[in-house]
């Protein structure tokens, strides 16, 4: 019997090539946004990456784009609470959401960020999918459940992406997958396949590129 939320199957050669071409083109940091009024025009398909702090989001974005310093460019002081937009050619916006789970942040900062996040998720008609990054060493945590619930309420489809899969043994990965599947089962907006990645080893990167290229 097939497990709920199986690992995504390897895309066809044609799909992999389409993904390669998309990410081989230009990808540039456009702007950091702190209010809905500053959003770029919703004139192309966009997708976003969400994940708690230290989940490996910057490393994944850099691996996808083949540009080591790209995500770091959006993490300079003053930008940590911004929604960062990157232009992926003329076809896509790659959107980097700040790491959530601000254990040491002032309450006012957290509330401001949460308001902006809610406005963004509910107010972008061109947002096709959110990729929620889960650390393979830990599985889904309560802060991940919070973002998933927000995506449910915003009617934004999201797909779980396990990061750092090279850092765990197979038994640990299996346990993390079990925990993740159980959590996803509670969320109606969850896409029914999980992507396993390692930014360091390159695992799952080509597959994720193909998935993104196929969004329409």
At residue 112, the pLDDT reads: 82
Residue 34: is its pLDDT beyond 50? yes
**DSSP of the chain:** -PPSSPBPPPPPHHHHHHHHHHHHS-EEEEEEESSGGGPPP--SEEEEEEEBTTSSHHHHHHHHHT-TTTGGGG-STT-TTSEEEEEETTTEEEEEPPPB--TTS-HHHHHHHHHHHHHHHHH-TTEEEEEEEEETTT---HHHHHHHHHHHHHT--EEEEEE-GGGS-HHHHHHHHHHHHHHHTT-TTB-S-BEE-BTTTTBTHHHHHHHHHT--
Query: Could you report the per-residue pLDDT of 5-29, keeping only the tens digit for each?
Result: 999 999 999 999 999 999 999 999 9
At residue 1, the pLDDT reads: 45
β-pairing verdict for 158-163 and 195-196: parallel
**DSSP of 44-67:** SEEEEEEEBTTSSHHHHHHHHHT-
Residue at 173 is within a domain:
yes
Residue 208: is its pLDDT beyond 90? yes
Mean pLDDT of 193-205: 97
Residue at 7 is within a domain:
no
Query: Could you give the number of structural domains in the chain?
Result: 1
At residue 71, the pLDDT reads: 72
Residue at 41 is within a domain:
yes
At residue 166, the pLDDT reads: 97
Task: Give the structural domain span for 148.
Answer: 13-213
Query: Could you report the per-residue pLDDT of 63-101, keeping only the tens digit for each?
Result: 999 988 787 645 544 445 789 999 999 889 999 998 776
Residue at 204 is within a domain:
yes
Looking at residue 191, which CATH number applies to its domain? 3.40.50.300
Residue at 8 is within a domain:
no
Taking alpha carbons only, the member of 17, 42, 39, 22 closest to residue 30 is 39
Residue at 22 is within a domain:
yes
Using pLDDT thresholds of 50, 70 and 90, give the confidence band for residue 160.
Answer: very high
At residue 74, the pLDDT reads: 53
pTM of structure:
0.93
Residue at 179 is within a domain:
yes
At residue 59, the pLDDT reads: 92
Using pLDDT thresholds of 50, 70 and 90, give the confidence band for residue 3.
Answer: low
- What angle, 0 to 180 degrees and rounded to 10, lies between the N-to-C axes of helices 205-213 and 57-65? 70
Residue at 23 is within a domain:
yes
At residue 50, the pLDDT reads: 93
Query: Could you report the per-residue pLDDT of 93-152, keeping only the tens digit for each?
Result: 999 998 776 555 677 777 888 888 889 999 899 999 999 999 999 999 988 998 999 999
């Amino acid at each position: 019997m097939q497990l709920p939320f199986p690992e995504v199957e390897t895309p066809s050669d044609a799909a992999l090539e389409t993904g390669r071409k998309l990410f081989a083109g230009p990808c540039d940091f456009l702007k950091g946004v702190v209010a809905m009024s500053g959003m770029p025009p919703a004139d192309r398909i966009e997708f976003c990456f969400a994940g708690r702090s230290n989940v490996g989001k910057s490393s994944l974005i850099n691996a996808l784009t083949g540009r080591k310093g790209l995500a770091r460019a959006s993490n300079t002081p003053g930008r940590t609470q911004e929604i960062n937009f990157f232009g992926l050619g003329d076809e896509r916006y790659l959107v980097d959401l700040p790491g959530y789970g601000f254990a040491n942040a002032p309450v006012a900062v957290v509330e401001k960020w949460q308001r902006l996040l809610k406005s963004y998720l509910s107010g972008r008609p061109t947002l096709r999918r959110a990729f929620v990054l889960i650390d393979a060493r830990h599985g889904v945590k309560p802060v991940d459940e919070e973002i998933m619930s927000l995506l449910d309420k915003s009617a934004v489809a999201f797909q779980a992406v396990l990061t750092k899969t090279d850092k765990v043994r197979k038994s640990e990965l299996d346990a993390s997958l079990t925990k993740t599947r159980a959590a996803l089962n509670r969320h109606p907006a969850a896409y029914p396949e999980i992507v396993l990645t390692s930014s360091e080893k390159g695992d799952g990167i080509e597959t994720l590129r193909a998935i993104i290229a196929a969004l329409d």
